[in-house]
Amino acid sequence: MTEQQLLAERLGVNIDPETLRLALTHRSYAYENGGLPTNERLEFLGDSVLGFSVTGHLYSHYPHLPEGELAKRRAAVVSTRALARLAREIGVGEFILLGHGEVRTNGREKSSILADTMEALFGATYLTGGLEPARDLVLRLVLPLLREVDESGAGTDWKTSIQEAAAEHHLGQVRYDVTGEGPDHARVYHAILRIGEASYAGGTGNSKKEAEQEAAEASWKILSADLAAKQAGSRGSKKS
């Protein structure tokens, strides 16, 4: 069994070996090796498979939700952050064919590369076996993320959820204190969420936006617990 076939086994799918290799071929590797085909066309195809599969599931399983709420849930599980998380859990990064420059700058951990590769793998699964195996793969991976969104009570855009909650409860201005470290080609950003005078959780990412989203997601549970405690205290004081 080749290393790439090991990845297919982890995914629980059958992918043609040549198609699988193509799905793992980043443009940096293709450029350094004489202009090989890249995984970008498969990524394009997989993006559609992902969107269709998730949209169909949401439409069937959330019959009472309006279009806006369905769109929020879909965005949560098809985002770069969500797909990169899945890729890290599976260990996709170790199988990606990268150029030397990307290897040096820790490309195997870059969210954008990981997310694009996941979409390419969805596309490769579709090409090999058709829609049903590809849809089964997508739903098997993303449904746990969707359940997390349901349980958290947040929408899909954590920053928007934080902003709306802060405005509704008059908590003060929402801001993110962001710092960066490292060279330009491998810069890492750290963000701390602050609302009014209160500080919440932090986040880290390869871009300011990614760090802020991570901080917002990590802060949501804290903020929700704080608001629930205040509401419980308010109800208790009214009863007394």
Known binding residues for Mg(2+): 43, 116, 119
From CA 121, how far away is CA 21, in angstroms rounded? Answer: 10
d(C-alpha 29, C-alpha 96), whole Å: 9
Q: How far apart are CA 157 and CA 149, in angstroms?
A: 10
- With a CB cutoff of 8 Å and minimum separation 6, the contacts of 223 are 162, 165, 195, 200
> Known catalytic residue: 119?
yes
Alpha carbon distance, N-terminus to C-terminus of the chain? 70
Residues 6+ apart with CB under 8 A from 54: 74, 77, 78, 138, 139, 142, 146
Residue 132 known to be catalytic: no
Report CA-CA distances (Å) from 174 to 46, 157, 165, 224, 238: 36, 15, 10, 15, 30
Binding residues: 43, 116, 119
d(CA 178, CA 176): 6
* 6 secondary structure, DSSP code: H
Active-site choice (3, 16, 32, 47): 47
Q: Which one of the listed residues 119, 210, 212, 214 is annotated catalytic?
A: 119
**Which residues are tagged catalytic?**
47, 119
